[in-house]
Chain A
Amino acid sequence: MTATQNKEPIFGTPIFDGEAAIKGYALNKMCYSFNGKEARDEFLADQEAYMEKFGLTEPQRQAIRDKVVLDLIGVGGNIYYLAKFAGMFGLTVQDVGAQQTGVTLEEFHEKLRRAGD
């Protein structure tokens, strides 16, 4: 278990770097705005108009409409900003984890519990 300086990609592990930051800027900026209640209300009242206001790309808009987290990451979303989006719909990081790993919420909880064995 020593350091290897191994830079090989890690399975299923997105690295939010400069490239992703450029790609996802509008999407993340919109999600950052959800810190404020007025912004959340405005989005929920008319999500298409709100996405237009932030200049999201069409694939970003579709990923928001679908609420598919892996797609949102694929179009440059950063998980901390996406969590603010998911939170508006009452989704926790376990819901988000279950969705990304293709298991039920209960199966995801069980996987976390088993990690302690």
Chain B
Amino acid sequence: MARIVGGLTTSHIPAIGNAIHKNLFEDPYWKPFFDGYPPAREWLAEVKPDIAIVIYNDHGLNFFLDKQPTFAFGAAPQYTNEDEGWGIPVIPPFKGDPAFSWHLINSVVHEDFDLVTCQEMAVDHGFSVPMQLYWPNFSYTDIATVPVMINTVQHPLPSPARCYRLGQAIGRAVASYPEDKKVVVIGTGGLSHQLDGQRAGFINKEFDLTCMEKIVDDPEYFLDYSIHDLVRLAGAQGAEFILWLTMRGALGGKVKQLHSNYHIPISNTAAGTMVLEAAE
């Protein structure tokens, strides 16, 4: 049977893609951020997951406002990275596992989550940056992926509680997959940041630290929060915390925090990196 071995979090800022391309790992601006990743990579090298479910949001590459799904699951043999317009280098494609994707889709729709399914899907920095951070030098080609896209572009966004429950449904779907696979779930985006409006540059360290504390042992703390609450406390784009909550829902009950790193700022954002190991 398949099982979830743990969860990872990471910001997915496009500037990170550029910094990786330019090898800025030792640059004084970037070092405190990149130093958060080797412990997570060591854990990955130890547990050797077969599949990564990546919870992310599309920022206008695969989806436009003509058709904006709330939840979209990849079901393709391969996911391409493409030109996003402002110059981060296009990187090699990511491997899919259609049989595993369809198992997730069948199971989650059976639990009344209505999804868009994608047999072709371009993935932008929301997906590609986390994959590069956790599997550097394009070593991600060894692991199968399932992109799970959640709308954070156009309101209404799905609530924190809805996303957490979607994660729980994903967790049950993985547990019922008959093949012996180890699965890691990645919650991307966040933490607090705001790109638009006169409050641009808003960062809320106190709230971020609460998020990083509660996501470990008390994720249900956030289930009464509205999207508007998250926008107020974490910034317009900090509402991406729903992607972390989806990951945490998938992990289920108890988890063990193996590593965390928090750094302000990367670009306009407070960056949070965590490794949560699922209980046996």
In Å, the complex CA distance between A110 and B69 comes to: 37
Contact across chains for A79 and B270 when beta carbons are under 8 A apart:
no
- Contact A78–B236 (Cβ < 8 Å): no
Contacts known (A29-B64, A81-B60, A93-B268); A4 close to B229, Cβ less than 8 A: yes
B200 pairs with A32, CB closer than 8 A: no
Q: Which of A9-29 contact B (CB under 8 A)?
A: 10-18, 21, 25, 28-29
Stretch in B101-109, B136-144, B190-198 with 4+ CB within 8 Å of A? B190-198
Q: Given the known A-B contacts A80-B59, A96-B195, A111-B201, are A1 and B155 also in contact in the complex, defined by CB atoms under 8 Å? A: no
Task: Report whether over half of chain B's contact residues are helix, strand or loop; otherwise say mixed.
Answer: loop
In the assembled complex, which residues on chain A have CB atoms less than 8 Å from the CB atom of B225? 3
Q: Of residues 65 to 117 in A, which have CB atoms within 8 Å of B's CB atoms?
A: 69-70, 73, 78-84, 86-88, 92-94, 96-97, 100-101, 108, 111-113, 115-116
Interface range on chain A: under 10, 10 to 19, 20 to 34, or 35 or more?
A: 35 or more
Q: Which residues 154-211 in B have Cβ within 8 Å of A in the complex?
A: 154-156, 194-201, 203-207, 210
A1 CB to nearest B CB, Å: 6
What are the residues of chain B within 8 A of A112 when measuring CB–CB? Answer: 201, 203, 264-265, 268
Is the CB of B231 closer than 8 A to any CB of chain A? yes
Q: What are 26 inter-chain pairs, A to B, with CB distance below 8 A?
A: A1-B207, A3-B222, A3-B224, A4-B229, A10-B231, A12-B198, A13-B196, A14-B236, A16-B153, A16-B154, A16-B155, A17-B154, A21-B65, A21-B154, A35-B83, A36-B85, A40-B85, A81-B60, A86-B86, A96-B200, A112-B203, A112-B264, A112-B265, A115-B205, A115-B265, A116-B270
